[in-house]
Amino acid sequence: MGYAEFQKQVNLSEQDICREIFARNRKTIRVKKEGTVVKNLERIFSATLKISNQKGFQAMSMRDLSQETHLSIGAMYSYFASKEELLAMLQHQRRAITGRILKERIGRQSTPAAKLRTAILTHLYLSEAMQPWFYFSYMEAKNLSKKEQELAVASELYTERIFSEILKQGQDEGCFSHRDLQLTASLIKALVQDWYLKRSKYAKRNISVDQYGQFVLEFVEGFVMDSTGNMRYSHSA
C-alpha cells in the first residue's frame, strides 16, 4: 500500500470532514443551510489551523481569524459558542477520523506482520492527509479543558494500544521477537509522529511520505521480527 492508493480509498477532503462536523453539531450551529455551513466551516477550520500552527491557538485572536476567513466575528460565532469550543471541535474530529480508519483498515489484515505494517502506514498516511490537524492536536493538547485533556490522553493511549496488541499477537504466534510490548509500541508511535511534527524539515529534504514509511518499516521490523525472517512471506496486499 502506497500513499496514492490510500488517498483513493479513503475520502478525507476538507468538504467531507466539514459535512461530518456539521452532522455532529447540528443543534448548536445556528446556521441551517448545509451548503453555507460546509463552505464556512471549511474556511473557519482551515484558517484556524493555518494561523494556530504558525503562532499558537491562544495567540490567534478572533480578529485574526475574521480577516483570514473573510467572515465577521459575529458570523463566526454562529458556528461555535466560544473559542474553546472551536478548539474542542478540531480535536474531536481528528480523533474520530483517526480511530475509525485505523480500526477499519487493520481489521482487514490477518497476520500480525501485515497488521503491523498496515497500522504504521495507515497512521502515517492519515497524518499526511490531515497534517495540520495532527500537528494542531499535538501542540494544543495542553490548552484544552481538563475533561478534553483526558480524552486526548485516552486517544493517545488507544492508538498505542493498537500497536502493542499487534505486537503481542505476533509474539504469541512466534513471528515477532520478545521485546517489551509497551515500550516498543511507544517508540513506534514516536517515529510515526515525527513525520507530522517535523514535516517542513522532511519537505525541504524531498523525503516523500512513502520513502519515510518504508524507512520506518525497515527500522521497526529489524527490531521486531524474528531473525528467521518469517516476515518476508507475509507482506500485505
Partner DNA sequence: GTCTATATACGGATAGAC
Partner DNA sequence: GTCTATCCGTATATAGAC
Q: Which residues bind DNA (CB under 7 A)?
A: 30-33, 36-37, 40, 60-64, 70-75, 77-78, 81-84
Considering the complex, what minimum distance in angstroms separates the CB of residue 115 from a copy of itself? 20
Do the beta carbons of residue 119 and residue 216 sit within 8 Å?
no
Considering the complex, what minimum distance in angstroms separates the CB of residue 89 from DNA? 13
Which residues are CB-contacts of 137 (< 8 A; sequence separation ≥ 6)? 90, 91, 94, 95, 152
CB of 36 or CB of 208, closer to DNA: 36
Q: Residue 222 touches which of DNA, a copy of itself, none (CB < 5 to 8 A by kind)?
A: a copy of itself
Radius of gyration (C-alpha) of the chain in whole angstroms? 20
Grid cell of 184 as nine digits: 516498543
Q: Residue 25 touches which of a copy of itself, DNA, none (CB < 5 to 8 A by kind)?
A: none
Grid cell of 48 as nine digits: 484556524
CB of 31 or CB of 154, closer to a copy of itself: 154
C-alpha of 42 from chain center: 18
Grid cell of 228 as nine digits: 528467521
Element containing residue 147 per DSSP (H, E): helix 146-172
Place of cell 481489521: 107
Do the beta carbons of residue 119 and residue 166 sit within 8 Å?
yes
Closest CA to 38 of 24, 68, 52, 17: 17
Q: Residue 207 touches which of DNA, a copy of itself, none (CB < 5 to 8 A by kind)?
A: a copy of itself
Considering the complex, what minimum distance in angstroms separates the CB of residue 225 from a copy of itself? 10
**Site of interaction with a copy of itself (CB under 8 A):** 53-56, 58-59, 139, 142-143, 156, 180, 182-183, 186-187, 189-191, 193-194, 198, 201-202, 205, 207, 212, 215-216, 218-219, 222-223
Considering the complex, what minimum distance in angstroms separates the CB of residue 43 from DNA? 10
CB of 71 or CB of 216, closer to a copy of itself: 216
Do the beta carbons of residue 196 and residue 135 sit within 8 Å?
yes
Considering the complex, what minimum distance in angstroms separates the CB of residue 62 from DNA? 4
CB of 44 or CB of 166, closer to DNA: 44
